[in-house]
Structure 1
Amino acid sequence: MINAKGGHDPIGTVKAQHKLEDQTVRKCIAYAEDLSAQIGRFRGHTAADLTALDTLLAEQYDAKIGGKKGNRTYQTYDGLMKVQVQVSDQIAFGPELHVAKTLIDECLTEWSADSRPEIQSIVTRAFNTDKEGQVNRSDVFMLLKLEISDARWNKAMDAIRDAIRITGSKEYVRFYRRASQHDRWEAITIDIAKA
């Protein structure tokens, strides 16, 4: 058998549990690759079908389908099934964010005696980076909602707004069904962790 270093080990010297583990992993990976290919085909067919419907409706009514971001919802005639397409912007922050952090730090240093620890915690959390080195976007956006009348703070908020860069968008397709028109929508789960 080929070992993890790329060499060859005689089959007789490989422990039975290692052989069993090898077989089990290979079996699971084969199923995973097949399922991944099926999901890829399903995604392609879904996109093609919805694009065809959008094109037909756009031609018929001479108008683009969906809101300004491209979000759209399709529903069966009986109202028991629907497909939602949601488009979300991918956001990054430019160097202005560092300027905002400096200005906010100046404010906090000056206000430290008077500021509540919750405000300091919110600011600190907003600029902490995650494993990928990215700041927490929702926490940064929360700073923009705070009403603080200090010129430096307001400059910092302007710097945050200027730092926001839309780097692309991602389209999510979600599927729902319900037993009757009065029931709640239940998601049709395709996520392997939730299936």
Structure 2
Amino acid sequence: MEAVILEEKTAAGITIVNGKEYVTNADGGLTPLALVKAEDFLEDQMVRKIIGFAKPLSAELARFKAHTRADIAEFDRNLEAKYGLVKRGRAGAGNQKYRTIDGLMSVETRVNKLIEFGPQLQVAKGLIDECLNEWTEDGRAEIRGLVTRAFNVDQAGKISKDAVFELFKIESDDPRWMNAMEAINAAVRVIGSKEYLHFSFRESHDVDAPWIRISLNIADA
């Protein structure tokens, strides 16, 4: 039996076996490099290069986020201690804005509640459907559009809470509609919260000088 000799890769994603170059395919097996289309190999190398930069950058952002939260938490603790406030911990923290003395730099924390809807939402939808089916045609098309958007689900199977809350802007003295709004209120469940960090600066003390957001989101950069 011929011995299998594995050698070091000459390029990312390439394995040399008994002097021949192979690439690992999607099934985990080895495909001779000679059988791989040139454009497929170039795509492979491009992706490996990009991911090679993206992984350490992601790790650096995670470290920055952790350090930022730690710095803010320490500042808050010192401030609370100075004025004798019983320690709240980060659970007690809310929206805060921190600025430099010159007023040109700002760090802001925002805490958004994470909510989901309980089964009462489907009860509300049934009541709303009854209303739409019996109300006159006048203005119903616009209302039906709002209702459709409210109960549409996205690719993740989730309903837009903002679209649902838009229904409260519709005024009606129909008892079923009012019951539907009550059911929506009852359906709201707070399942947690998420903290967001925002960084911004402005380049002058002019009252009209705009605040420029420092984006750490690659989609916004």
Pick the TM interval, shorter chain.
over 0.9
Deviations 1:49-89 (A, max 9, x none): 111101110111123699x7611000000000000100001
Instruction: State the Cα deviation string for residues 167-190 of structure 1 (Å, max 9, x = none).
Output: 111100000000112211100111
Alignment match, 1:19: 41
- Counterpart amino acid of residue 194 in structure 1: D
Can you give the 5+ residue segments of structure 1 that lack an aligned partner in the other structure? none
Alignment match of 2:62 (pick from 40, 62, 68): 40
In 2, Cα distance between equivalents of 1:16 and 1:101:
55
Greater alpha carbon shift after TM alignment, 130-139 vs 151-160: 130-139
The residue that corresponds to 1:4 in the other structure is: 26
| Identity across the alignment (%) | 48
Return the alpha-carbon distance in structure 1 between the equivalents of residues 184 and 218 of structure 2. 37
Matched, 1:56 2:82: no
Task: Tell me the amino acid that sits aligned with residue 161 of structure 1.
Answer: N
Structure 1 pair 69–166 and aligned structure 2 pair: CA distance change class (3 A): farther
Q: 1:160 to 1:187 in 2, by over 3 A?
A: same
The structure 2 residue matched to 1:152, chosen from 157, 176, 179, is 176
Give the 4+ runs in structure 1 shifted more than 6 A. none
Q: Distance in 2 between matches of 1:2 and 1:124?
A: 47
Aligned to 1:106: 130
CA distance in 2, matches of 1:28, 1:123: 43
The structure where strand makes up a greater share of residues is 2
Match of 1:136 among 160, 172, 187: 160
Larger radius of gyration between Structure 1 and Structure 2: 2
Match of 1:191 in 2: 217
Q: Partners of 1:22 and 1:114 in 2: how far apart? A: 58
8 Å CA contact 2:132, 2:140 repeated in 1: no
Question: Aligned-pair distance for 1:99?
Answer: 0.4
Cα RMSD (Å): 1.8
User: What does residue 85 of structure 1 align with?
Assistant: 109
Distance 1:65 1:7 in 2: 51
Q: Is the 8 A contact 1:103 1:153 kept in 2?
A: yes
Distance 1:192 1:165 in 2: 32
Query: 1:85·1:172 contact (CA, 8 Å) conserved in 2?
Result: yes
Q: Deviations over 1:131-151 (max 9, x none)?
A: 122222111101112221111
Q: Give the structure 1 partner of residue 5 of structure 2.
A: none
Could you say which structure has the higher helix fraction? 1
> Structure 2: 5+ residue runs without aligned partners?
1-22
Native 8 Å contact 1:54 1:65 kept in 2:
no
| Counterpart Cα distance in 1 of 2:219 and 2:96 | 26
